[in-house]
Structure 1
């Protein structure tokens, strides 16, 4: 009996599997995979037949990235630091602002800015009435903001710094020698600095005459003798002190009648209050006593407005009248002329202070002794 042999070749084909991991942003949902849409994170399986006719299992691992929210920047800036640049935005005022960025997963990320602006400190200067030469006045600097403050101001020549001001207003005492404008340049408080406070005040230093000593007046006891203060203008009032021996003390020309010598001070007060104080000595002489007159001019004077030797004038002893007193520069230019006793030259010509130099003077006068005086000489103007 014959036998047949049959051989079986068995081939086992492999199952195909795959895993795909995908991360998407919430705004990319639903996510479509193999014809299906998915809206939630998870692992999903899809079974199909591969080319060999076997099952093919594909898995999807779907991850959903989270949008980052709630990151908040709280920022405080001074008002003059605007615009504030934040995430590409130029922000011009205080408020709450949002910005949408991309996170590391490529999803939108929302961040928030709370911007607060601090007002700038301000400074205003006030007060300071017109003053007389040599006097002081007080300015008030009113401040806003938070202590302590630092203020920088200028007097037109120098910048000055006031540190650690604890309270407002701040009182600043100034003593300008000429009319001066005080300007606030900056103010800094505990938080911010303001370089433009825009406040200034001008202090006027009023012109003031220098006091002089009049020629002595010689008289006899109990003889009515007219006295005469210098006439500086109708806007001046007069006050003589002490009142002894005078018929009035509030006039320019009181009458003296007394039996002793007296030295008087005459206070001349103009409308602006800048007082001038002159002096005169009334000398008592015996009946029949001879009167001796004389007149001379100092060799130098220094017109620096310190109240001492500021003018060049004749010094008179019992001089009844000055016909003229003239001053010339070295080229013969007439710089000053007067016929008033006690009046002199302050070194100013045509509104300009003259240079240090030698000046020539000439005068003619009449003494109470009846003598005629005609003299000339040189004096040095010292600066």
Structure 2
């Protein structure tokens, strides 16, 4: 087996840290998917999507100061108290006026994925899985994955520090390599805005302090408030894979940040309201391969080097075997990624020292779940202070396996087992290597099964087929098929097939259209030839044929009319009402003859009319001339030959020449019932209407005088008038 390399992360912290607060005095907690970390001088919120931004209000005791248009004043990003004045004056970033911008992203091949803007942009699924509070640090761990790339990000605040570190591990969980991987972090440094003593200016002096490549692999970009009190924010790492930039705002392309496409990767004291970013070029990860890197947010320039050293993940441990079997001998080698001065090594298993003063450790007595520890004490060219770091490896020891395979084969067959062929019953054992690379004792227990035979006799009707063992047969004969019996061996199945004959008959019938003929239980109404298949005495088809023809019915329609009150005879029936009547008779072929009568009633007219005329007038009605008062009846025929009766009530009116409207009931009103107009001698209209003139105008009696009238009346088909004078004699 080729030696496999296992990367184990050891973190060098090469500066002494003075712990101020007593353990347990911080309010670090996990609340509704948000991690709130509180240390001596730094507070950080890790939101549900992994960016430094709480989606809810910070708990009591924290110091949020954001009031941005996209946040509530008590939401928390990250804040610091560099003055160490018990949070009297403190600074921070992210939750400020304007659009809050902070988050991380990945470029995988040609695709970019980002979690930013208080989780408003959340393309990488994940959540906070753990929060810890110890005397050494306050930490939260976020886990997520995208396209088979698992992300574990542990963010921690060392005790007494004015910075915090995020350590990221990326793991390929797929069965194929993942290529062209870049990771980025992006923030808009507005830490001076809303800070006491600042001028509320968004501008910062942005400087590239370190840029890779360099001997220590340092990358650092800083932003200092231009018009404030020197509020500081740094973002950096001690990792040769890192690069930092200034420029842009909502940066979403990790590869572009690393290559500097569209960004500045050099320069100092560049005043702008821009983002600062860091990116790591990971390259490719093989299946199940992991890589780890770290970066720091620095909130006090005095802690700059201390924070960068905290990101230096500088020790590898190589194992001579990636997979260890019980009893195998394996050698572990520790190697610093940076040049170390006089390193001292100490190896432990489950806390017991097992080796010192060597960068290698060999053993053949490891048990599953043993914890192997390596401690290195050294100084490096990039961190001259001697310090120690320890890492633990949880060992997986694979066990040998045993298996038994029971196989039965048919007599004459053979069984292949681990490269050998067996044909006789017996027990056989082979030693092979299992999937974990350890011994596997495989046992074969082989038994023999016997073949069988059978015969089936069947009779079918001619034209039918018989399916025997998946094949259809329709001819008499003997057929043999070789099948598999119940124990999985050969079964010789023989079929002996005989044929039986069918029969036929024909019936000819004529029916009227619309009638039904029942034949062998089925009703038929249409002409045609119909075949019913029955079963004859030998159980075969009996084809009974029906030849059915149709005789046609007939129909006729008679349109007629009658005068109201008369009777109309049709097909022996008397009708005296209008309507459509259907009479069913029998035609010459014995079928229905539908005779339809459409009968229309002709009206008989009767009219009464009242006619007015004056003396000398006359009316001519139906050839008769009438000049006197009376009731006259005239009868004549309509154009349809029916009677029409007109009754005329004739009135002759007399126009008086004098009225005396004095209320005595005699001659008080002039021409009541006719359309009359009355004028005085000056042509003034005094009265118009049909109710007669009572000798008044506007309700008051007129003077005794002569007045002019016009009478309008209908005569024949026209309106005629009579004019004259009437005298009002007395009132």
**TM-score, scaled relative to structure 1:** 0.30
Determine which structure has more spread, i.e. the larger CA radius of gyration: 2
**TM-score, scaled relative to structure 2:** 0.18
